[in-house]
Structure 1
Amino acid sequence: MKKILIIICCIFAFQSAHSQLFSKKKVLNDASGGNGQIDNNILTWGYFLGFNSYDFKFTYNTNADAIQLKPSTGFNVGLVGDVKLNNYMNIRLEPGIFFTTRNIEYPESYGLTSIVERNREIKSSYVHIPLLLKIGTKRINNIKPFIVGGFSTSLNLSSNQDNPDDNSSNQFRMKKTTYYYELGFGVDFYLYYFKFTPSIRGVFALNDELVRDVDPNSPWTSNIQSMKSRGIFINFTFQ
């Protein structure tokens, strides 16, 4: 699913860019229904819909077999607040809700023999709040490529950090709050009534998210030095 979406975005961007760059007819859309160019506004609003794919980066205390992870495709929805700094830079706040599921499988070498012991399903519902700097190129007819980066934090509404049960009771625990840095790119397409922006962004956690089991020799957590989320967001923004 993720690869298909990326291919669709690339094809759409290439076709639009080709028509804008090589078409003789170059009508500049103002993305506001004829009420003035949207880029002239200091403050603009919008919303986004999209997809995500999260996994984990594990760091181990010993040179043991790696934990296997099976990510799946999740769903994003949120709002966009954009402040124009100049013709090339914008500050963006993009609070949203992100739903994702990750399945991890421990190797038998950890002393876990049954399928129930070796497998953990981790469902997360994040309130994700990034503060981003968007740097764009000069507008080319009705398209404007850009790169984006910044820092973010998320609150895991599905966190069981305070659950007294741990993996001995089949409860894999994660911390509630995570901090990230983010990097990505996209293209603004100026349409008559609004600005449409497909983008792709990588997010990388800065802090360890694992809550250790009570037993210091737990086969599920004792060998994990750190566990940090990583993810890819594909968003479609409307402003």
Structure 2
Amino acid sequence: MKKVFFLFIFFMAFQTTEAQWLFSKEKIKNKENFDKQRWSWGYFLGFNSYDFKFDYEEGASDVIVEKNIGFNVGLLGNLRINDYIDLRLEPGVVFANRNLTFPDIPEDNFREVKSTYVHIPLLVKFSTKRLNNFKPFVVAGISTSINLSSNEKNPDDNNAGEFRMINNTNYFEVGFGVDLYLPYFKFTPSIRGIFAMSDELKKDDDPNSAYTGNINSMQSRGVFINFTFQ
């Protein structure tokens, strides 16, 4: 118990110090001219959690979706418009994993859906005024992706154990984050939601398939947590 208490005290002291470091009026600004550059570059690492949104025929049972944690990695190109608006391109690779269970099928009712996306978002970043070494922002935009694991052209369908998806998908995205100006670089944690704008399901060849016959559409939605370094 004593160890837990001392760890808690240490954590609170650390948090207080960090808050003072961010908000103190006497703090010297790090990377003071960084945001005055017309162009800036960086890279990001992060995590994701993907889900599916299904639209069913009347009376159909819901497909059970089990979400898993995936991984993101990519590059950043940022174009400064003015002190408060930036245009950014974030091409990257996304590794996602979802498990599907079809409750109305007694046997062979489980599908593991592993997806590898080449994901290309074009985002507009709206920032507040910088406060010492701290600047919150929101982002919104559109993106497109190529699913390298879609199986769209695979002649086998669920009757042969293969779950198929459409290769190309477009999304809209919205999120928020904060720029932290450190002595040697800018560090940006952010969280973003993505929402597919089209049906991604490649239906089985049999229109009455127990797997896809009762599904009108299937759309991805997900959450990204990214850590960007510039």
Same fold (TM over 0.5): yes
Question: What is the Cα deviation at residue 64 of structure 1?
Answer: 2.0
The whole-number CA distance in structure 2 between the counterparts of 1:183 and 1:141 is 26
1:62 equivalent in alignment to 2:58: yes
SS in 1 for 2:195: strand
2:132 to 114, 125, 141: 141
TM-score relative to the length of structure 2 = 0.91
1:155 equivalent in alignment to 2:146: yes
The whole-number CA distance in structure 1 between the counterparts of 2:36 and 2:193 is 29
What does residue 29 of structure 1 align with? 30
Aligned residues: 217
Question: What is the Cα deviation at residue 37 of structure 1?
Answer: 1.5
What does residue 188 of structure 2 align with? 197
What does residue 20 of structure 1 align with? 22
What does residue 233 of structure 1 align with? 224
Structure 2 vs 1, CA of residues 146 and 127 (structure 1 numbering), >3 Å: closer, same or farther?
same
The whole-number CA distance in structure 2 between the counterparts of 1:96 and 1:127 is 6
Structure 2 vs 1, CA of residues 98 and 48 (structure 1 numbering), >3 Å: closer, same or farther?
same
What does residue 83 of structure 2 align with? 87
What does residue 113 of structure 1 align with? 106
Q: 1:20 is matched by which residue type in structure 2?
A: L
What does residue 70 of structure 2 align with? 74
* Structure 2 runs not aligned, ≥5 long: 1-13
* Structure 1 runs not aligned, ≥5 long: 1-11, 31-35
SS in 2 for 1:19: helix
Question: What is the Cα deviation at residue 211 of structure 1?
Answer: 0.4
2:94 to 98, 104, 118: 98
Q: 2:53 is matched by which residue type in structure 1?
A: K
The whole-number CA distance in structure 2 between the counterparts of 1:13 and 1:131 is 34
TM-score relative to the length of structure 1 = 0.87
SS in 2 for 1:20: helix
Structure 2 vs 1, CA of residues 13 and 161 (structure 1 numbering), >3 Å: closer, same or farther?
farther
Could you give the per-residue CA deviations for residues 119-171 of structure 1, whole angstroms, max 9, x where no partner exists? 00000000000000000000001000000010000000111100110000011
Judge conservation of contact 1:17–1:143 (CA < 8 Å) in 2: no
User: For residues 2-17 of structure 1, what are the structure 2 equivalents within 5 Å?
Assistant: 16-17=18-19
1:212 equivalent in alignment to 2:203: yes
Question: What is the Cα deviation at residue 13 of structure 1?
Answer: 9.4
Stretch moving more, 85-94 or 61-70 = 61-70
What does residue 178 of structure 1 align with? 169
Could you give the per-residue CA deviations for residues 39-61 of structure 1, whole angstroms, max 9, x where no partner exists? 11000000000000001000001
Judge conservation of contact 1:13–1:187 (CA < 8 Å) in 2: no
Q: 2:34 is matched by which residue type in structure 1?
A: I
